[in-house]
Amino acid sequence: MTKTDAKQRVAELSDQIREHDHRYYVLDKPTISDAAYDKLMRDLQALEQEYPDLRLQDSPTQRVSGGLRAGFKKVKHVRSLLSLDSLMEESEAREFDERVKKGLGMDEGLFAEEVAYMAEPKFDGLSVELVYEDGVFTRGSTRGDGEVGEDVTENLRTIRAIPLRLREEGPPARDRVAIRGEVLIPLAAFAELNGKLIAEGEEPFANARNAAAGTLRQLDVSITGSRKLDCFAYEIMSYDAPARSPHPFPTQQAMLDVLRAWGFHVEDNVKLCHGLEQALAFHAHLLERRERLAYEVDGIVIKVNDRAVQTRLGMRSRSPRWAVAYKFPPREEITQILDIVVQVGRTGKLTPVAQLKPVDVSGVTVSRATLHNQDEIDRKDVRIGDTVRVRRAGDVIPEVVEVLKEHRPVGARRFELPIKCPVCGSEVVREGAAHLCTNGLACPAQLERHITHFTMRGAMDIAGLGGKTVKQLLEKSLVKDLADLYQLTPIHLVQLDGFAEKSIENLLAGIEASKKPRFDRFLFALGIEHVGDTVARLLADHFGSLAELREATPESLQEIRGIGPEVAESVHHFFANPRNRKVLDRLQKAGVKPVTEARPTGPRALDGEIVVFTGGLETMPRPDAQRLAERHGARVAGSISKKVTIVVAGPGAGSKLEDARRLGLRVLDERAFLKLVGDKG
C-alpha cells in the first residue's frame, strides 16, 4: 500500500468508525456486529502504527469512543472511564500475557513465573460511573465519551442493586468515591419487556444491551423504575485510603470484596487465576454456560490482580495495559435474505422462513432463520433482498432480529403468506397471528409432522420409526393416519428402502411395545394444539381415563389448575372432531391402551417443594424422576435460583450443583430423593 492509499484508507476507516460509534452509543441501533467493528478499529490502529504521521488528532483511536445525546445534563467524570482492548483469539490472549510478562521483566528469568489474573464475566450492558460522597450516592452518569457522560442519577436511583448509601461493613468511604459498574437487564425481564412492547404496538428492542441502554436513558424516570434493571459493580476508580493504614484493596479480588461489603451487586462467578491457562479455562467454562446465565455476557475480562503491578504496567491512550476483554464468538451477524419460503407444521401453521446468504454465527453456519408469522414480517418490514441482523442463541432456531433499512436494495420484494397451502393447495385461514392450512391431516405436510411427533421419544417412543421411515410410509400410502401404524405387516414394510427381515422384525416389535403407553405420554403424542408434556400431565392426573377425557366439556377442563380457556377449547375441539374420534376408536381396537398411574392420596411428601435435577441418575431416566417428584406434589424447575428448595444431584453434576452449593440449597443424591418419596427405586 502506498502512503497515498494508506492516507485515504485511514480517512475511510475513521469515518466509518465514527458513524458506527454514533449508531451504537447514541442511537442504540448498531448496524454492524461487534466483531466487524473491532476489525475496523484494529485495521485503523495497524495503519496508524505503520504511518504514525497519518494519525490525526481526532482519530477514533485517540479517545475513548462514544457520544452524547441531548436531553440529559452532561457531567465530567471523576475519573475517565477507560475502555479495553478486545481480543477474539486464544493466541491473542497469549500475546497479552507475554506483553504483561515482558512489561514486568518476567520473561528473562530461568523459571517461568506466572502472573496472577482476575478473570470476570464481561457484562454486555452499559457502563456507568457512580459517585458517593461521605458514603451517600450523589451522582451517576453514563460513560459518554469516557470523560464526560450523561447525568442519569435519578434513573440510577431506581435500580435496587445500587446502594443509595454504602454499607458500613466495608472500609470507611469518606470524601468522594467513584465506582464503575455495568447496568444491564436480566434476560427474563428483557423477554417480558419486549413482549409487553409488542402487545402495546411499540417497537421492541433488538437485544438486551439496547433494552438496558434505552431504559436507563429515559427522561421519564418512572419508566426506568418500572423495568427491572440490574447493576454489577467491578471497579473502585477513586478512593482516598486513610493514611498509615494498610490499603483495603491491594488486589482486584480484594476490591470486589470491598464492593460487596459496601452493598453492591458483585458477580460471584469470577476466578482468581494463577497464570493465563486458568483464565483460558474460565473463558471456556463460561462460554459453555453462556446460554444458562441470567443475563447477557459477551466474553471475559482478564485483569492483572495486583493493583501495584497494574500501576507499573500503566496505560495506553485508550486502555490499560493490565487488562483485556477476551470476547466470545458473536451471536449476531449481518447477512442477506435471498428468499422467503413457507413451512407447514404439525398443526397446519404456516411459518415463513428466510433463506439466508450463509453466514457463520458463533461457529455454526446459518442459512435459514424463522420469521415467525406475517405480523412479525410486517412489524419488522422484512423484504426479500434485505440485509438483516440474524441471531442465534443456544439450540433455538436462528431468527431475524431486524432489517438494516439503509442497505435495502432497489426492488427488494415484500412478502405475504399465501392464501392456499403451499403443500396441499387447500384454503388458508387466519387465527390470531397464525395462518393455518384448513386441510387437517389430509394435508401431507401436517400428516408427516403429526406422525413423526406421535412416534418420537417422550411420546409413543417407537424405536426404529424415525422421520425417513415415516416419509416413505406416507409416500407409499401405507399409512394415512396414526391408527394405520398398528396395521402394518411385513408385507407392507418390505416395500421400504433399507428394510430387511431383521429391521422389519425390530420395527414391528417396537410398534407392539408401544401399545401400553403412559396416559400422559399418549395424550402428548396425539399432537393436540397447546398440549405439551406439562398440560398432558395435568390432564392425565385429572382424568383417570381416555373415556372420561373424551367427554369433558370446556368448562370442566378449565376447572383444572393450570389450564386456561384457550387450552380447554383446543382439547375439547380435538375430542369433539369425528375424524379424531374414529382414529381413537381404531387405536383402541388395535390394542393401544394407555396406562394410568395410581394417584397418591392425602398430603404428599414434596408438597410445596421446588426441585431441580442435575447430573445423571442411576435407577431411572430423568423425565421419570421428574414425574415422580411431580406426583408427590413438587414443582420441577430447570435452573437454580433462590426459590429452589431441593436439588437432586447425580454423577457428572456440574455448574448447577456448584450454584446450588453457593446458594446453600438442600442437595440430595438419588437414594435420598427416592427415600423421601417413599419409593424403593
Q: Starting at the earlier edge strand, list the strands of the sheet with 85-87.
A: 85-87, 323-327, 297-304, 116-123, 271-274
Per-position DSSP letters for 629-656, written without gaps between them: HHHTT-EE-SS--TT--EEEE-TT--HH
Q: How many Cα atoms within 13 Å fall on the side-chain side of residue 358?
A: 3
Annotate each residue in 259-298 with x if it binds ligand IVH (CB under 6 A) or - if it does not, as one string.
Answer: ----------------------------------------
In terms of C-beta density within 10 A (0-12 exposed, 13-18 middle, 19 or more buried), how is residue 586 classed? middle
Pseudo-torsion of CA 621, 626, 630, 632, nearest 10°? 60
Of all helices (H) and strands (E), which one includes residue 307?
Answer: helix 307-313
Sites for ligand IVH among residues 555-584 (CB under 6 A):
none
CB of 533 to ligand IVH, least distance (A): 38
Pseudo-torsion of CA 41, 43, 45, 49, nearest 10°? 180
Q: For residues 633 and 647, what is the distance between their CA atoms, to the nearest angstrom? A: 15
Identified binder of ligand IVH from the candidate list 24, 117, 123, 132, rule CB under 6 A? 123
Identified binder of ligand IVH from the candidate list 320, 527, 594, 650, rule CB under 6 A? 320
Taking each helix axis from N to C end, the angle separating 3-21 and 34-50, rounded to the nearest 10 degrees, works out to 150
Given a contact cutoff of 8 angstroms between Cβ atoms, the answer to whether 485 and 591 are in contact is: no
Active-site pick, 3, 7, 73, 122: 122
Q: For residues 195 and 193, what is the distance between their CA atoms, to the nearest angstrom? A: 5
Q: Which amino acid is at 610?
A: I
Give the Cβ contact number of residue 291 at 10 Å: 12
Q: Which is nearer to ligand IVH, 37 or 137 (CB)?
A: 37
Q: Which is nearer to ligand IVH, 136 or 308 (CB)?
A: 308
Q: Which is nearer to ligand IVH, 120 or 609 (CB)?
A: 120
Q: For residues 598 and 487, what is the distance between their CA atoms, to the nearest angstrom? A: 31
Annotate each residue in 84-103 with x if it binds ligand IVH (CB under 6 A) or - if it does not, as one string.
Answer: x-x-----------------
CB of 41 to ligand IVH, least distance (A): 11
Of all helices (H) and strands (E), which one includes residue 340?
Answer: strand 332-344
What are the cell numbers at 274? 494463577
What are the cell numbers at 520? 400422559
Identified binder of ligand IVH from the candidate list 325, 434, 568, 644, rule CB under 6 A? 325
Q: DSSP E strands: which ranges in 529-581?
A: none
Q: Which is nearer to ligand IVH, 231 or 636 (CB)?
A: 231
Q: Which span sits near ligand IVH by CB under 6 A: 76-84, 385-393, 574-582, 634-642?
A: 76-84
CB of 304 to ligand IVH, least distance (A): 11
Q: For residues 628 and 356, what is the distance between their CA atoms, to the nearest angstrom? A: 44
Identified binder of ligand IVH from the candidate list 82, 189, 231, 286, rule CB under 6 A? 82
Q: Which is nearer to ligand IVH, 184 or 540 (CB)?
A: 184
Q: How many residues bind ligand IVH (CB under 6 A)?
A: 15
Q: Which span sits near ligand IVH by CB under 6 A: 26-34, 77-85, 617-625, 644-652?
A: 77-85
Helix, strand, or coil here: 576? helix
CB of 122 to ligand IVH, least distance (A): 4
Applying CB under 6 A, does 323 fall inside the site for ligand IVH? yes
What are the cell numbers at 196? 409487553
Q: Which span sits near ligand IVH by CB under 6 A: 117-125, 430-438, 647-655, 672-680?
A: 117-125
Hunting for cell 456507568 — which residue is that?
Answer: 128
Q: For residues 439 and 158, what is the distance between their CA atoms, to the nearest angstrom? A: 53
What phi and psi, each to the nearest 5 degrees, are found at residue 365?
A: -80, 125
Q: What is the DSSP letter of 26?
A: I
Sites for ligand IVH among residues 181-210 (CB under 6 A):
182
Q: Which is nearer to ligand IVH, 17 or 323 (CB)?
A: 323
Identified binder of ligand IVH from the candidate list 28, 120, 145, 670, rule CB under 6 A? 120
Nearest CA among 604, 611, 622, 608 for reference residue 667: 611
Q: Which is nearer to ligand IVH, 124 or 670 (CB)?
A: 124
CB of 92 to ligand IVH, least distance (A): 14
Q: Which is nearer to ligand IVH, 104 or 442 (CB)?
A: 104
Give the Cβ contact number of residue 427 at 10 Å: 11
CB of 30 to ligand IVH, least distance (A): 14
C-alpha gyration radius of the chain? 30
Q: Which span sits near ligand IVH by CB under 6 A: 78-86, 131-139, 511-519, 524-532?
A: 78-86
122 is catalytic: yes
65: left (phi over 0), alpha (psi -120 to 50) or beta: beta
Applying CB under 6 A, does 122 fall inside the site for ligand IVH? yes
CB of 244 to ligand IVH, least distance (A): 28
Q: Which is nearer to ligand IVH, 85 or 386 (CB)?
A: 85
Identified binder of ligand IVH from the candidate list 301, 302, 324, 377, rule CB under 6 A? 301
CB of 391 to ligand IVH, least distance (A): 20
Q: Which is nearer to ligand IVH, 80 or 514 (CB)?
A: 80
CB of 85 to ligand IVH, least distance (A): 8
Nearest CA among 575, 471, 482 for reference residue 525: 482
CB of 138 to ligand IVH, least distance (A): 21
What are the residues binding ligand IVH (CB under 6 A)? 82-84, 86, 120, 122-123, 127, 182, 234-235, 301, 320, 323, 325
Active site residues: 122
